[in-house]
Amino acid sequence: MDFKEFRNTLGHFATGVTVITTKNNNKLIGLTANAFSSLSLDPPLILVCIDKKSSSMEAFEEDHPFVVNILNKKQDRDCWRFAKKTDDKFDGCSYSLSEDGIPVLENNLASIQCEVEAVHEGGDHYIITGRVNHVEYDEKGEPLLFFRGKLRELPEKTETM
């Protein structure tokens, strides 16, 4: 398997973009992730795949709270801000804190508050499953999309009469 070709092929699966936030002791943690999926309705479960090399991984212990922030089309700066390996990702970023003290980014399309249900091995990633305990969404917002390595927006709907 040619690694680059495999990666390019996966880039043809258009996704939304999320920022996964949590905290480790008192340090706020966040990383951009598009390997997110719904998993189960009853019980309500979601999953996200995180690189074993990600410095954020150490925060994802069983029962630990985290938030899936589904990005709005206007949050491209948040996408790139949380895709970096820096200690100051939250500087200049607007957010509120959930009851568990986890950052919920402002102007999200939707947010899903969870606790870690389980951490599974998945090659060079971990598969984190989350038990959902609170959800919110903006009915009128539009998503930020990721396709062929670039951020996109939904095309404007053309009216036909």
Q: Considering only residues 67-96, where is the footprint of ligand FMN by CB under 6 A?
A: 79, 83-85
* 135/117 Cα distance (integer angstroms): 17
Site string for ligand FMN, 94-133 (x = CB under 6 A): ----------------------------------------
Stretch that binds ligand FMN, among 47-55, 70-78, 98-106, 152-160 (CB under 6 A): 47-55
Which tokens is 111 given? 């947010």
Question: In the window 133-152, what residues touch ligand FMN (CB under 6 A)?
Answer: 146
C-beta closer to ligand FMN: residue 25 or 160: 25
39 near ligand FMN (CB under 6 A): no
Please provide the DSSP assignment of 73-140 as one string: TT-HHHHHHTTS--S-TTTT--EEE-TTS-EEETT-SEEEEEEEEEEEEETTEEEEEEEEEEEEE-TT
Cα–Cα distance, 35 to 50 (Å, whole number): 8
Q: Which residues bind ligand FMN (CB under 6 A)?
A: 17, 31-35, 49-51, 54-56, 79, 83-85, 146
